[in-house]
Amino acid sequence: MEIQAFQPKVVASWSLPMNEVRILPIGDVQYGAQGCDIDRLKRHIDWGMEHDCYFIGLGDYLDVASPSNRRMLQEVALYDSVREMMDNKMEDELAKLLCILKPTVGRWLGLVTGHHRWDYADGTNTDTRLAEYLETDYLGTQGFSLLRVGEYNNRAPAQVKMLTLHGQGGGGLLGASMNKLDKYRTPYPADIVLMGHYHVAAATKRTQFDMR
């Protein structure tokens, strides 16, 4: 887990009497897969840039090697030339995704890794390189962010704690993803928990006590 602190810029709220921070998750893009909706991703990015949003990555940006695929590749003795060819192919795929994400450079709060990524021979992977290109932090498998939100009525900035992860497991019903999400509330004192993996859009609120 990586822990970071950040003071984002605030914008006027559409419905609240105070300013707000707008954060758009991006995850499970799986660029390169037949079902990848590139037009929808571009619209998501355009809306975020138009409305002064920040972005945060939830993993699975490219449709490349799964954990089992990577284990098998580690057990295979490949010629250096074959490994270099595969690395170059993955770099090409990453470059195509970066062309889409280019407008968002400098607007990220970080990104976590997912199940699908490519590990390069030099020890980096597609997710660490993506974070570098986007000028943001690579948060590993989980990220814990402390957001210091601007003053309101001469009060000190509010501190919002956000946990970010990719997620794992499956389930046939919408409740399965929410149950997985909810279990992270106990060990982590987070105000916001963001999780990918399930390819569903769902949100809920829970009341909890905390010391400030």
Please, which pLDDT band fits residue 173 given cuts at 50, 70 and 90?
low
Measured CA to CA, the distance from residue 43 to residue 186 in angstroms comes to 35
Q: Return the axis-axis angle of helices 126-133 and 80-101, rounded to nearest 10°.
A: 40
Domain ranges of the chain: 2-195
Of the candidates 165, 191, 158, the residue with the CA atom closest to the CA atom of residue 180? 165
Q: What are the DSSP calls for the chain, one per residue?
A: -EEEEE----EE-SSSSSEE--EEEE----BTSTT--HHHHHHHHHHHHHTT-EEEE-S--BS---HHHHHHHHHS---HHHHHHHHHHHHHHHHHHHHHHGGGTT-EEEE---S---B-TTS-BHHHHHHHHTTS-B-TTEEEEEEEEPPSTTPPPEEEEEEEE------SSHHHHHHHHHTTTTTS--SEEEE-SS--------------
Of residues 185 and 136, which shows the higher confidence score?
A: 136
Give tens-digit pLDDT for 96-154.
999 999 999 999 999 999 998 888 888 899 999 999 999 999 999 999 989 988 765 66
Greater confidence (200 vs 75) lies with 200
pLDDT (0 to 100) of residue 175: 67
More confident position, 204 or 143: 143
Burial call 47-59: b when 16+ CB within 10 Å, e when fewer: ebeeeebbbbbbb
Average pLDDT of every residue of the chain = 84
| pLDDT tens per residue across span 1-38 | 788 888 888 888 888 888 889 999 999 999 988 889 99
Highest mean pLDDT among 5-9, 107-111, 155-159, 172-176: 107-111
Q: What's the pLDDT band for 212 if we cut at 50, 70, 90?
A: low
* pTM of the model as a whole: 0.83
Highest mean pLDDT among 2-11, 153-162, 175-184: 2-11
Could you tell me if 114 and 143 are in contact, meaning their C-beta atoms sit under 8 angstroms apart?
no
For the segment 80-108, the average pLDDT, to the nearest whole number, is 90
Average pLDDT over every residue of 150-166 = 79
93 pLDDT band, cuts 50/70/90, is very high
